[in-house]
Chains A and B, each alone.
Chain A
Amino acid sequence: MDVLSNLGVGFAVALTLQNIAYCFIGVLLGTIIGVLPGIGPVTTVAMLLPISFTLSPESALILLAGIYYGAQYGGSTTAILVNIPGEASSVVTTIDGHQMARQGRAGPALGIAAIGSFFAGSVATLLIAVAAPPLAAVALQFGPAEYFSLMVCGLIAAVVLAHGSLVKAIAMVVLGLLLGIAGTDINSGVRRFDFGMTGLADGVEFVALSMAIYGIAEVAYNLEKQQQTSIVSGAVGRVWPSLADLRHCVGSILRGTSLGAILGVLPGGGALLASFAAYTLEKNVARPPRDFGRGDIRGVAAPESANNAGAQTSFIPMLTLGIPGNPTMALMIGALMIHGIAPGPRVMTDRPGMFWGLIASMWIGNLMLVVLNLPLVGLWAKLLRVPYRLLYPAIIVFCCIGAYTINTKPFDLFVMAFFAVFGYVALKLDCEPAPLVLGFVLGPMMEENLRRALLISRGDPMVFVTEPISLAFLVAAMLLLIVIAAPAIRKKREEALKE
């Protein structure tokens, strides 16, 4: 019954007029940027971080979360109608979704994507409500050694699932950790890595760093790609799938939801991985294995359910452990810290209204998204006519205003320019920025836990191996590294991650 009373608290928070409004703005923005290729949820959340400072923490999280799962809905619209993914997580939806659109079945494809997403979103919301309290209770027992090892394990797992070279990804994590600990050391008062600049006394501003990488550097990178003008297929038609379609998809939606929910919880997981895995699974288990690749509705239902489930369950480690599994979650932790809330297992007990309010808002947001997406899909399709040359100056403008207002400090714009150049070079050298951002967020926490663990053990590093839970995390991290370094699996992973 605890779950019910907790959700009651949550709905009381989420159903205030103000929070309903922020939830609506969040999912609306999420849908729009989901539809638009070239701008994703990470960029948008980064751009809105400074604004969220002016809201209450509850409203801020509700707004930012809405963008993330709203984008999963919007992304499928572009994937189905234009054959280019509006979001990375709807890449696989293009395969069967666009084929359906070509056969004049765009309506049912969009419909099943929305229905699957709604079902998955509702299940994932319940799952968070059930799974989060026991997980947080376990995490409360963790000492510094356990925490340090958990972070090592989380970072390694995130790296393993990143694209491309393992060495580069680990190097990006380490670089992120180094950048994260810049600024005044809380224990000794020494200003680290300020290079004599007062602007760096408080370290590198997280908002400036993330907007530089996910906003400005991405713009510079995208400007090089040839802008393809693609044709939106004509009428969308009836969006409600037929009963036969629905019956056909029940299994796919269920499988997609479960797989997505599990993969969302893992570090490095979230919507992107979930959709790929669900499509692969569906191709292997769906009976009869009719027409995958030629417009099978199950090829839309499974990944679209999975990406929404994954988007939502990825909040579990962020909310209960304070560990971000993907860059969007890292930004959420940034949002918490802007409001002076230390992320970790105590958030749930110290701020039940915020915690349960966020969860309740996800269900409300999913409901809004179905209403927004099904009848209005024609409107979203029109958005696709907005050319990138009108979009990217707006991104730059919002990033600049955001970087300035976060501390009213012109210096942060120079920081942003520097990391924009760095981010572009990194992208060009195939160094994924996601591990860097995760490392940046975890840097100070990792150092603090390492310090405390070694203080308690009087400098004996064996403490990480003698504590059983800590050992388990480290062994898990080692196993992940060994498994991924094995050539056979390595090849498989490259195939799976290939877009």
Chain B
Amino acid sequence: MRIRAPKDFWAGVMFCAFAAVALFAARGYSLGSAGRMGPGYFPLLLGVVLAGLGVILMVRSVVIDGEPLPRFRVLPLAIIAGAVCLFGLAIEPLGLVVSLAILVVLAAVAGLQFRLVETVALAVGLIVFSVGVFVYALGLPLPVWPSL
């Protein structure tokens, strides 16, 4: 047995994985009956359908030819996702100015075309804009400076 449509196959695996997590997490929710649906009724229904669709994709991928897997460029994605998490960790203790500086520098690094002067200028511009618009003009609840 050979996988002839890797893209479809892995999409199927992904959907089955999500379905498995959903069905596992929903195992404790009471089902109720059709006339009185409990909190577990709809999730079970959806989980089973999703798993079924995932299986269809996987089965089909060994029968019908399809596209190969594209190249995943993990590094830029990992840096950006990491930078987003870091922003979440930094925003409350360190404030907007410091968090944004870190975020912009990491985002620029993720582009793999890093230019120091340009990045610094961009960071300053975005910080001034964000503080001016979001904090002062719109009054959003954002700490500006580190809270010591």
A134 within 8 A of B: no
8 A Cβ contacts from B1-28 to A? 7-8, 10-11, 14-15, 18, 22, 25-26
A33 within 8 A of B: no
**Are the C-beta atoms of B72 and A410 separated by less than 8 Å?**
no
Given contacts A167-B56, A410-B91, contact A396 B11 (CB under 8 A): no
Show 17 residue pairs from A and B whose CB-CB distance is below 8 angstroms, ordered by the A residue: A167-B53, A167-B57, A389-B113, A389-B115, A393-B107, A396-B107, A397-B126, A403-B84, A410-B89, A413-B85, A420-B81, A421-B81, A425-B14, A429-B7, A429-B10, A458-B35, A460-B34
The interface centre, meaning the residue of A170, A220, A408, A446 with most chain B CB atoms within 10 A of its CB, is A220
Given contact pairs A171-B57, A223-B76, A403-B84, enumerate 8 new A-B contacts (beta carbons under 8 Å).
A171-B11, A175-B15, A390-B122, A393-B126, A399-B84, A404-B87, A404-B91, A454-B37
**Are the C-beta atoms of A396 and B83 separated by less than 8 Å?**
yes
Q: CA–CA, A403 to B134, complex, Å?
A: 13
Which B residues form the contact surface with A (CB < 8 A)?
Answer: 7-8, 10-11, 14-15, 18, 22, 25-26, 29-30, 33-39, 41-43, 46-47, 49-50, 53-54, 56-57, 60, 67, 69-70, 72-73, 76-77, 80-85, 87-89, 91-92, 96, 100, 103-104, 107-108, 110-113, 115, 118, 122, 126, 130, 134, 138-142
Which residues on the A side are within 8 Å of B70 (C-beta)?
A: 428
Q: CA–CA, A190 to B42, complex, Å?
A: 13
The 6 closest A-B pairs by CB, nearest first: A413-B88, A459-B35, A459-B34, A393-B107, A171-B53, A410-B88
Q: CA–CA, A390 to B33, complex, Å?
A: 55
Q: CA–CA, A381 to B110, complex, Å?
A: 28
The closest CB in chain A to the CB of B126 belongs to: A397
Which residues on the A side are within 8 Å of B50 (C-beta)?
A: 171, 174-175, 178
8 A Cβ contacts from A432-457 to B? 446-447, 450-451, 454-455, 457
A-B contact count (CB 8 A): 187
**Are the C-beta atoms of A393 and B108 separated by less than 8 Å?**
yes
Q: CA–CA, A460 to B58, complex, Å?
A: 34
The closest CB in chain B to the CB of A428 belongs to: B70
**Are the C-beta atoms of B88 and A404 separated by less than 8 Å?**
yes
**Are the C-beta atoms of B104 and A405 separated by less than 8 Å?**
no
User: What's the dominant secondary structure at chain A's contact region?
Assistant: helix
Given contacts A165-B8, A430-B7, A459-B33, contact A171 B104 (CB under 8 A): no
**Are the C-beta atoms of A393 and B42 separated by less than 8 Å?**
no
Which residues on the A side are within 8 Å of B103 (C-beta)?
A: 393, 396-397, 400
A185 within 8 A of B: yes
Which residues on the B side are within 8 Å of A389 (C-beta)?
A: 108, 111, 113, 115, 118
Q: CA–CA, A244 to B80, complex, Å?
A: 53
The closest CB in chain B to the CB of A454 belongs to: B34
Which residues on the B side are within 8 Å of A404 (C-beta)?
A: 87-88, 91, 142
Q: CA–CA, A428 to B29, complex, Å?
A: 34
Which residues on the B side are within 8 Å of A430 (C-beta)?
A: 7, 11, 67
